[in-house]
Amino acid sequence: MFTRRTLIGAAAALSLTAMSSGAMAQDNMYVALISKGFQHQFWQAVKAGADKAAEELGVRVTFEGPDNETQVDKQMDMLAAALANKPDAIGFAALDSQAAIPLLRQADEAGIPIIAFDSGVDSDIPLATAATDNVAAAALAADKMAELLGGEGQVAVVAHDQTSRTGIDRRDGFVNQMEEAHPGVEIVTIEYGGGDHLKSTEITKAILTAHPELDGIFGTNEGSAIGVVNGVRESGTEGVVIVGYDSGKAQKDAIREGLMAGAITQNPVGIGYETVKAAVAAAKGEEVTGDIDTGFFWYDADNIDDPEIAAVLYD
């Protein structure tokens, strides 16, 4: 009984077979990276770094992540599918470390080495973690903000979330450094916009209404920082010092135009590169341990075009 429906299914399956043929290269070492996302420019930069390492080391790398950072169970399904392919090593950026432990154990039992990246995993299964020291990076943002405000004023934080490691570390790194090193600067409010441009914009406008005396705002990731810029622009407020985090075209433009004072950039290309490098070393049986600090930089209108900075910024 060949109906259209079955034929459609068969056609789909066949086209998949065709699409996959390129991925079936034999004998190369294979490293599967399971990330927290793939759509943000940040993750694309991580992927670019991973691809670069893959090319240099002659290995095959796949890169996958869920649509957004709440989809913990989808990430588990991705990890399970990656395990089915029997990779030589896995790079994993956990959305929730505890939830991932059964599958990580399964990988461990199968003898597949795991390198954590972007944020750590609360488990001793990953051999190493390639990540930005977010606390130190956010502390640098606090120092720069205090410097720009002349050591006193009111500051608000628009954070991307309060559950993930990066969200917590950046918020606390900024807040604690402010309290310890810059007592003249008061943090009047901390709000969470989920890293969503639009939500962060609305939050910023609400903050500006509630605190007309506000001197500065810190946006803790790309989406939050752009939201802050848009919110300040839409409300027509002037003289608010904006400090951002990560890069992306909108944020770079805002810095060039002087709307944003400056931002912290991680080194996403370095994260991807170091993860694959460590994964390959581990798969070859070399010893890989501890934290791999992939670094961070402050950039503003003055140094945005320096070769060293331009290399770690992305559009």
Contacting residues toward another protein, per CB under 8 A: 1-10, 12-14, 16-17, 19-20, 23-24, 38, 62, 64-65, 67, 70-73, 76-78, 80-86, 96, 98-99, 101-102, 161-163, 192, 194
- Cα 170 → chain centroid: 12
Q: Are 68 and 38 in contact (CB under 8 A)?
A: no
Sign of CA dihedral 194, 295, 142, 232: negative
Give the strand order in the sheet containing 185-192: 185-192, 153-159, 216-219, 241-245, 262-266, 296-300
Q: How far is the CB of 180 from another protein (least distance, A)?
A: 25
Instruction: Output the smallest distance, CB 288 to another protein, in A.
Output: 24
DSSP 284-310: TT----EEEE--EEEEETTTTTSHHHH
Cβ proximity to another protein, 102 vs 151, nearer residue? 102
> Least distance to another protein from the beta carbon of 296, Å?
26
| Nearer to another protein (CB atom), residue 8 or residue 301 | 8
- CB nearer another protein, residue 21 or residue 289: 21
| φ, ψ of residue 153 in degrees (nearest 5) | 150, -175
Which residue's CB is nearer to another protein, number 62 or number 176? 62
Of 3 and 289, the one with the shorter C-beta distance to another protein is 3
In angstroms, what is the minimal distance from the CB of 231 to another protein? 21
Please report how close the Cβ of residue 300 comes to another protein at its closest, in angstroms: 32
> C-beta of 86: minimal distance to another protein in Å?
6
Sign of the dihedral defined by the CA atoms of residues 52, 54, 60, 65, in that order: negative
Nearest to another protein of 67, 306 (CB atom): 67
Q: Give the nearest distance from C-beta 313 to another protein in angstroms.
A: 23
Q: Secondary structure of 216-282 in the HEC alphabet?
A: EEEECCHHHHHHHHHHHHHHCCCCCEEEEECCCHHHHHHHHHCCCCEEEEECHHHHHHHHHHHHHHH
φ/ψ of residue 290, rounded to 5: 80, -165
- Residue among 169, 167, 158 nearest 216 (CA): 158
CA atoms within 13 A on the CB side of 290: 4
The least distance separating another protein from the CB of residue 178, rounded to whole angstroms, comes to: 22
> Cβ distance 33 to 276 under 8 Å?
yes
Residues sharing a CB contact under 8 Å with residue 164, sequence separation 6 or more, in sequence order: 69, 95, 119
**Which CB sits closer to another protein, 77 or 147?**
77
Nearer to another protein, 75 or 132 (CB): 75
